[in-house]
A and B are shown apart, each in its own frame.
Chain A
């Protein structure tokens, strides 16, 4: 239905189904909920705009995730450019009071991972540990997602032990 014409009901279905996932994808990159929400909005607006040229070769979700990821990366570059301090220092994490030290330490360690590993680790936990979903969102083979996760876990474990 999306392919035949720019159908508003079909698009609405897409929004309802993917809004959380697109938001999580943006959040995994930006770590700022307000910015991630703006990016998710932008991604859907761009998706709506490109629908007339959509040829159906990739699934709508793949196209949407690609748009969302590129939009989030552009927003991250713009935000990094605007701020002199790194986003890592001011990144927003939900307030968890159980063990603040452990939380800060974990944040710090994850922030030290290479970008690709950080993204996979964050998305893996944000997406309820669903490797298939992460692979689809990042347009990566499942094996690549797993190898990023394994490498990241080994690094993090090393840092935790010190």
Chain B
């Protein structure tokens, strides 16, 4: 196989990985602190995409339409996250995980239909922002600027997240809440606010990733339940609640999917699910996570 072909497969995998990382980082964040798989994370992502499309319709004439729309979508979804956490999720802490899982699933059902009700069932698409139109040749393979931009955004968010979590006072609170909620509460910290904050950040990231994916993927109903499984696999591979774990988990997912197509055509989907099952069996807490 030609090296340029392998390189382009590699870059394709990396692009997938960076999108998945954006989505999965929020999922992992909420799992790390609340110990629950938020199925509605995929719905937040979908809402982000639809809101970005809506924003582009509104802000289009201004020239910075796409960026304003993305920010608008991310903030709106973040606010929605705050409402969901304050009104509902809060009263489910301490209940069996079955109820928490089903609650997030109820959100999937409701938000999916709300999106259908507002935006209909036809495909919507958003054009690439003018600044990032075009592509560049690297080692004989064509790389669109937008994909390269994503490869910068992904690691930047990982780095920023790591800095906040490990080098700031807020991060210390979050890590403390992760380890022992009651003790942190007893020490006088406002644990409720920390939880709401984490949920908002997580929803914001979901909304942002939904907005950023619109130039390369069309917006369709059902994108919520498809993406959540992928994000879930990434989080399981990397390790729940570990930011770098999620980062490397997405890279592994992207590359396995990308090269799996070459090795078993048609079965690359199977290979990622099998990879997740193997990791859950051997190391249930993931490659970079810690046992509960």
Q: Do A and B bind each other?
A: no
